Structure 1
Amino acid sequence: MSHPAHLIALGFGSGLSPVAPGTAGTLWAWLAFVVLSLWLTPTQMGVLIAASLVVGWWACTVTARNMRVLDPGNIVWDEVVAFWLILWLVTPAGLGAQFVAFVLFRFFDAVKPGPVGWADQAFKGLNARGGFGILFDDLVAAFCTLLVIAAWRFL
């Protein structure tokens, strides 16, 4: 936490969980989204998510470079912003639907089937390319989550 980028990339400490930091980061994202939704309009939340992608790219790049690890498990801003995107796009959704989104997203992020696995390997490095790669596979996991939810709603 010696640099502001670390605070962001580590999900304000949620990524420091000794057990399942990605899940801890996603749970923190869920709680933060619920709280932020009390004060922000959907448009403002969309702007926050867009800004969080840009700031997160920088924070993930700096933190991975400082840690000298390509995609450290403790960096969870990728889970945070991807799950915010999911929640923003499925809102209004009840607690049950949000839980389903959480489980689906964690599945796609942890197992990395098909396109998520490809995205996880597509961009590597201790530079801006690597910082983008940290975010990219989680955005693909979010897209896959949203596809499943859309298909479920269609049926």
Structure 2
Amino acid sequence: MTRLAWLVATLGGVGRLRPAPGTVGSAVVLPAVLLGPWWCLALAIAFTLAGLWALSRLPAAQDDPGWVVVDEAAGQCLALACLPAGAGVVSVLAAFALFRAMDILKPGPVGRADRMGGALGVMLDDVLAGFFAGIVLLAARAAGWAG
């Protein structure tokens, strides 16, 4: 079980890639946008639930070490879910950049969730980063930005 939990937490070992495993973990799920927004939302939920399961079984993951990237996959998929079906490359890159910015800068609730620690804190800060990136994307769409 520990091996399976590690594989989930690292997205099959992606979390061991250097440099910037969080950025790589976010990038590997970008093709999910081709499935459409509902599938991206379903993947975000699946990654979140799988991540909570895996991290609760890995004591070394409780402080969000760099090799844990399932949280980035969940947050990035949530941001991608806010793009329209058939979104172009510019929109996908905007979703990627916004998510990474929210994840790195950790504004407000994202930072509070990050400081929670434990499996929930590890997952929640990235889910919130994806949520806030998604809000920005939806606001841009509402304002007429086609990307």
**TM-score scaled by length of structure 2:** 0.84
- Find the counterpart in structure 1 of residue 53 from structure 2: 58
Once residues 19 and 69 of structure 2 are traced to their aligned partners in structure 1, the CA distance between those partners, rounded to angstroms, is 13
What residue ranges of structure 1 are gaps of 5+ in the alignment? 125-129
- Find the counterpart in structure 2 of residue 127 from structure 1: none
Single out whichever of 105-114 and 42-51 deviates more from structure 2: 42-51
Which SS does the other structure have where 2:29 is aligned? helix
- Find the counterpart in structure 1 of residue 23 from structure 2: 23
1:8 has 2:18 as partner: no
Aligned partner letter, 1:18: R
Which SS does the other structure have where 1:11 is aligned? coil
1:22 shift after superposition: 0.4
Which SS does the other structure have where 1:96 is aligned? helix
Aligned partner letter, 1:102: F
Aligned partner letter, 2:52: W
Identity level (%): 35
The 5 Å alignment of 1:1-155 reads: 3-31=3-31, 33-34=32-33, 37=35, 43=38, 46-63=41-58, 65=59, 67=60, 70-92=63-85, 93-121=87-115, 123-124=116-117, 130-155=118-143
Once residues 111 and 147 of structure 1 are traced to their aligned partners in structure 2, the CA distance between those partners, rounded to angstroms, is 16
Once residues 137 and 33 of structure 2 are traced to their aligned partners in structure 1, the CA distance between those partners, rounded to angstroms, is 20
Q: Which has the higher helix share?
A: 1
In the TM superposition, what whole-angstrom CA distance separates every residue of 1:117-147 from its partner, at most 9, and x where no partner exists?
A: 12211x22xxxxx111111001111111012
1:4 shift after superposition: 0.4
Contact 1:60 1:77 survives alignment (8 Å)? no
Aligned partner letter, 1:81: A
Contact 1:71 1:134 survives alignment (8 Å)? yes
Aligned partner letter, 2:80: L
What residue ranges of structure 2 are gaps of 5+ in the alignment? none
Once residues 50 and 104 of structure 1 are traced to their aligned partners in structure 2, the CA distance between those partners, rounded to angstroms, is 19
Aligned partner letter, 2:139: A
1:45 shift after superposition: 5.2
The two structures, once aligned, show a CA RMSD in angstroms of 2.1
In the TM superposition, what whole-angstrom CA distance separates every residue of 1:10-29 from its partner, at most 9, and x where no partner exists?
A: 11121111211100100111
Which SS does the other structure have where 1:12 is aligned? coil
* Count of residue correspondences: 141
Once residues 149 and 89 of structure 1 are traced to their aligned partners in structure 2, the CA distance between those partners, rounded to angstroms, is 7
